[in-house]
Structure 1
């Protein structure tokens, strides 16, 4: 199957490569001409054979909105645009309605897998009309992990990004619990092998998970996390999850507390936030700040923002 890919960064580039390995033809566009196959969205649309599919992997907000709007002008009835970025689910209906005026379909897909997705596959949560989602099944099957799990048609437009938003909110809570547990173990002299304790939990316990595996990996690389500043950015989806909970009167005490803990990390060097920062780097390749680097930049001031939000 032929597909256009807009945005060839950490996620988009690896997804394009996984699709190529599965035998699909990918025509890629990126603002960096060194990594793209074409020089513009116009050239991308011209290279694709109708009915066309274009998958967008650019930062949420205005970059996604402007890209989707431009594709609506370039594409034809029967084509489909996929937003696989971390967009707010409330934006999806606006984008779908705008594209529908041109006869172009829209599918939103929440994507999880980070920098490991190229080899392991990506968990995919799709939202959209059944006829549009069905058209994308060969792409979904190539991107997802092997086996029956890892993909869901979650519902109508917006459902994919809503499911991914809640997924990320849960991720916040789990990461915060691991981080607080690590800080408590480190704060006493009762347990003398803290990394070993976490390692022992990887098999046979009810908290074994990929995040626990990544935690152990982070401690293997830096046992005391001495090289990290206790600063953790939030990607936006944690905030949206909490806001959705307010909108629907659903209590989310753990997820809300985890989001607020990230805010607190920008005010002081929190030991727990070092672990959160380490875990984000492990599964997503997110940027981290060294303790020395933060001091050198004078970024210890409250509210200093050294890591831009992940898109």
Structure 2
């Protein structure tokens, strides 16, 4: 039986995220038609919402499409990859020119670019949108990052901006850019999330095993940090996690296996950084840290082979307090590096794919609803509003001053970790990047000489214009300069 009611939007995929987005939409007065491959899932969802007049259950693709007002808007909340393409093909026979397909999953940005182009040829508009905030965000206000076919934006804007989180009364949702831009920005968001989580975990590890603090003492520290410069969702939930006790009264976190999982978006960020030649070192170290954590059995054997880490030397309360401040400053400074690297990557991707990204607007979209939301993001927005052509966040006064103020304690915390044999790959790589970025001279001249020696790859000279390349016959010249110049 075909539907005659006119729903504002249809949604396919009634897992938790899909259900919560639907309820968010219906709460805001939008009529939503829903469909799931499993009829039982649809029946269960409808049964749980018997009085929701804005909810319309459908049991076939054709039924779903016939229930929608033109232009039809169908949002897919299904597993990224082939499943999205399969649903697109099922939808196409029932759609008219100008109808809109929205992919709200964690899709790879190149897939979103491909789908935008493919559907445009068929007269169908496509939006690939990042949705961040987890289950709670989906239900009460996520961060939404749409990209794709800009012609579709006017039709979905009222819905997306109504259900999005709000920061200073502004919706954490705006158009990102063409093609795969929305999912690219979501990918970078997730990469920064990987970095933030690793930085917090390393800071916790330094407290617990470097300073010998109990879980309760660590909880107190994180709760306090959440009231200052580090105020953020991830710091907040870290304090909540440390508060949680198992049935025997012991901290639950101590009983969780130290082998972290991942779903791929952090890896995608690292791959993109390599493809574009942008040193997103902190995020890639965070991905590798999860990979290393997964080698649990090997790590147990290695510890037995190399011996236990020496016990923590006794420290006075004053020394502990000073080191806690050092860890705080290291975490804050490293967080700045993580965001700066993420923005470097987005800036290069915008050049590569001809996207017009609003960097301050992206920070605004991340200020509420999403996993990396924090007061910190307001300063990023301010930096790009003051200078839209800002080449790097580290050069903005706020962040430059913050790094210089934190530098001494940052180094102190990393040295402390090395002395205690506590791995801090994210905190350390952030410091190394900072030192490299602000160094006018790096040892790459030796690398270029080596490359020219064994492979005749040429090099540039500091006393010649950029773009003028030289090659030296290092062996036959007997140590004397004998170069060939190449104009490029």
- What TM-score comes out, normalization by structure 2 length? 0.53
Identify the residue that residue 216 of structure 1 maps to in structure 2.
239
Q: After TM superposition, give the deviation of residue 260 of structure 1 in Å.
A: 0.7
Task: Identify the match of residue 201 of structure 2 among 179, 190, 205.
Answer: 179
Task: Identify the match of residue 160 of structure 1 among 182, 189, 192.
Answer: 182
Q: After TM superposition, give the deviation of residue 239 of structure 1 in Å.
A: 1.1
Task: Identify the match of residue 227 of structure 2 among 203, 211, 216.
Answer: 203
Identify the residue that residue 170 of structure 1 maps to in structure 2.
192
Task: Identify the match of residue 93 of structure 1 among 103, 106, 113.
Answer: 113
Q: After TM superposition, give the deviation of residue 21 of structure 1 in Å.
A: 0.6
Q: After TM superposition, give the deviation of residue 198 of structure 1 in Å.
A: 1.2
Which structure is higher in helix share?
2
2:247 corresponds to 1:241: no
Query: What per-residue deviation string (whole Å, max 9, x for no partner) do you get for residues 90-138 of structure 1?
Result: 0112212222232110011111010111454010111123321111111
Identify the residue that residue 62 of structure 2 maps to in structure 1.
42
Identify the residue that residue 80 of structure 1 maps to in structure 2.
100
Identify the residue that residue 143 of structure 2 maps to in structure 1.
123
- Whether the 8 Å CA contact 1:6–1:56 is kept in 2: the answer is yes
Identify the residue that residue 19 of structure 1 maps to in structure 2.
25
Distance in 1 of aligned mates of 2:177 and 2:138: 26
Q: After TM superposition, give the deviation of residue 27 of structure 1 in Å.
A: 0.6
Does the C-alpha gap of structure 1 residues 60 and 221 become closer, same or farther in structure 2, counting only changes over 3 Å?
Answer: same
Distance in 1 of aligned mates of 2:139 and 2:91: 30
The total of aligned residue pairs comes to 271
Using the TM superposition, name which of 193-202 and 83-92 deviates more: 193-202
- Whether the 8 Å CA contact 2:12–2:77 is kept in 1: the answer is yes
Q: Is there any run of 5+ residues in structure 2 with no aligned partner, and where?
A: 1-6, 43-56, 246-250, 300-369, 372-488
Q: After TM superposition, give the deviation of residue 46 of structure 1 in Å.
A: 2.3
2:12 corresponds to 1:3: no
Task: Identify the match of residue 37 of structure 2 among 31, 37, 42.
Answer: 31
Distance in 2 of aligned mates of 1:67 and 1:196: 48
Distance in 1 of aligned mates of 2:145 and 2:193: 16
- The Cα RMSD (Å) is 1.9
Q: Which has the higher Rg, Structure 1 or Structure 2?
A: 2
Identify the residue that residue 218 of structure 2 maps to in structure 1.
194
- Whether the 8 Å CA contact 2:21–2:139 is kept in 1: the answer is no
2:79 corresponds to 1:63: no
Does the C-alpha gap of structure 1 residues 189 and 137 become closer, same or farther in structure 2, counting only changes over 3 Å?
Answer: closer
Distance in 2 of aligned mates of 1:43 and 1:115: 27
Distance in 1 of aligned mates of 2:151 and 2:282: 38
SS at match of 2:112: helix
Does the C-alpha gap of structure 1 residues 265 and 73 become closer, same or farther in structure 2, counting only changes over 3 Å?
Answer: farther
- Whether the 8 Å CA contact 1:76–1:102 is kept in 2: the answer is no
- What TM-score comes out, normalization by structure 1 length? 0.82
Distance in 2 of aligned mates of 1:127 and 1:118: 18
Q: Which has the higher contact order (CA 8 A, sep 6+)?
A: 1
Q: After TM superposition, give the deviation of residue 76 of structure 1 in Å.
A: 1.1
Q: Is there any run of 5+ residues in structure 1 with no aligned partner, and where?
A: 271-282, 285-311
SS at match of 1:107: strand
Q: After TM superposition, give the deviation of residue 28 of structure 1 in Å.
A: 0.7
SS at match of 1:151: coil
Distance in 2 of aligned mates of 1:91 and 1:188: 44
- Whether the 8 Å CA contact 1:133–1:153 is kept in 2: the answer is yes
Q: After TM superposition, give the deviation of residue 230 of structure 1 in Å.
A: 1.4
Does the C-alpha gap of structure 1 residues 38 and 195 become closer, same or farther in structure 2, counting only changes over 3 Å?
Answer: same
SS at match of 1:142: helix
- Whether the 8 Å CA contact 1:33–1:39 is kept in 2: the answer is yes
Q: After TM superposition, give the deviation of residue 157 of structure 1 in Å.
A: 1.5
